[in-house]
Amino acid sequence: MSVFFYYLHGIITANNRAFMNYNFKHLILGAIAATTILVGCTDPTPDGNDPNGKVKIPKNIVNDGKTFDVNGQIFSIPSPVQTAMLIKDSGADFDETYLNPKDNADGYSTMFSKAMNLGVYGADLGYCTIYENNNASLAYLTSVRTLASEVGVENAFNESLIERFSANSTNQDSMLVFISEAYQSADNYLKTNDKSDAAGLILAGGWVEALHFSCRVASDGNEALKARIGEQKSTLKSLIGLLNSLESTGDDFEEFVYAMEDLYGAFDQVSSSYKYVEPQTYADKKLTIFNSTNDVEISDDILAEIASQVSELRDLITQ
């Protein structure tokens, strides 16, 4: 609407004296444009289209580039919250030394470091919440808000979220849902506002932090997490493809991508063997069980190499 008024104001200002004699064709075109804008700004029906579901919107209206589309494929990166859940399920204890100190949030000056560490702190927040360390969760939520504001997604992490989070501080499930919804809202906002680069960096930061947790726990002798680390090989490949598709520039970004590519060199030594087994579907439960097997092998030497590189990679982001 504001565009239309700006346009109308321009016509009136430029043609103030002769406005009444303004070319009729111009007014017709202006009317068409106004109608288009007004229609475009009307609240949509719940499905946003006509009741028959038959719509024809030009392909270029919604830009496919707003997704992480690399060579026609869109990549999904596992949630750091899920990784934290898997770590807890493996029997590992909470360890605050794994986390990026919350006060570091004030020291990040570039958009690269802010977006990456928004992802890092999201993983830290998820880790604290999974382990029901409520004081730490609230403290890390403050750090998340600081960076969210600077990345331009403060609406996803607003005062209401803090209030709901605090009011449900004894309900871990609600807190996890709030965190995930906030990050989902931020992701959606960034992708629909041509800021996919920031969305991609947040994802990458969260993934590195979650992998850092896994490496620290596995290095302490937790065998269950070794295979979990090896299973990240494909995700790393996807992330590198995603990063290379972004328009981000700068020495810090390039250094990070090179380090991720080096890390893939270490992951490339992880072997796996997949075997298809027919799935079972239970329609009444809306459930399908995937029975295929996939054995991942990762030696202690490779694990040590990966853990060392992840540590350096994380330092690159957080320091």
Partner 1 sequence: MKLTVTTIFAAVLMILGSNVNAQVTCDSVSGIASSYLNEGTENSIFISDGQVYRAFLSDDESAEFNTTFFGGSTYRIAVSAGKRKDYVIFEIRDEQDIVLFTNADQANAPYWDFKVTSTMECKIHTQLDPNKKASGCVIMLIGFEKQM
Please work out the total of residues on this chain that contact partner 1, with binding judged by CB under 8 A. Answer: 89
Which tokens sit at 21?
A: 């004699």
Q: Residues 33, 162, 240, 257: which binds partner 1 (CB under 8 A)?
A: 33
Write the CB contacts of 279 (distance below 8 Å, at least 6 apart in sequence). 288, 289, 290, 291, 292
CB of 42 to partner 1, least distance (A): 8
Q: Which stretch binds partner 1 (CB under 8 A): 23-31, 95-103, 144-152, 243-251?
A: 23-31
CB of 197 to partner 1, least distance (A): 15
The reply to whether 41 sits near partner 1 by the rule CB under 8 A is yes
Using CB under 8 A as the binding rule, the residues of this chain from 162 to 201 that contact partner 1 are 173, 176-177, 180-181, 183-184, 187-188, 191-192
Give the C-alpha separation, 68 to 199, whole Å.
Answer: 9
CB of 306 to partner 1, least distance (A): 16
Q: How far is CA 292 from CA 86, 232, 247, 274, 280, in A?
A: 20, 18, 38, 7, 11
Using CB under 8 A as the binding rule, the residues of this chain from 136 to 165 that contact partner 1 are none
Residues written for the chain: 319
Q: Residues 17, 21, 53, 223: which binds partner 1 (CB under 8 A)?
A: 53
Using CB under 8 A as the binding rule, the residues of this chain from 198 to 237 that contact partner 1 are 203, 206, 227-228, 231-232, 234-235
DSSP notation for 231-257: TTHHHHHHHHHHHHHS---SHHHHHHH
Give the C-alpha separation, 81 to 245, whole Å.
Answer: 25
| Residue 5 · residue 41 · CB < 8 Å | no
CB of 151 to partner 1, least distance (A): 14
Q: How far is CA 198 from CA 269, 286, 319, in A?
A: 31, 36, 19
The reply to whether 55 sits near partner 1 by the rule CB under 8 A is yes
CB of 262 to partner 1, least distance (A): 21
Q: Residues 29, 107, 254, 255: which binds partner 1 (CB under 8 A)?
A: 29
CB of 91 to partner 1, least distance (A): 14
Give the C-alpha separation, 273 to 177, whole Å.
Answer: 35
Using CB under 8 A as the binding rule, the residues of this chain from 281 to 310 that contact partner 1 are 281, 283, 285-296
The reply to whether 57 sits near partner 1 by the rule CB under 8 A is yes
Backbone torsion region of residue 48, taken as left when φ is above 0, otherwise alpha when ψ lies between -120 and 50, otherwise beta: left
Q: Which is nearer to partner 1, 276 or 319 (CB)?
A: 276
Q: Which is nearer to partner 1, 159 or 285 (CB)?
A: 285
The reply to whether 72 sits near partner 1 by the rule CB under 8 A is yes
| Residue 86 DSSP code | H
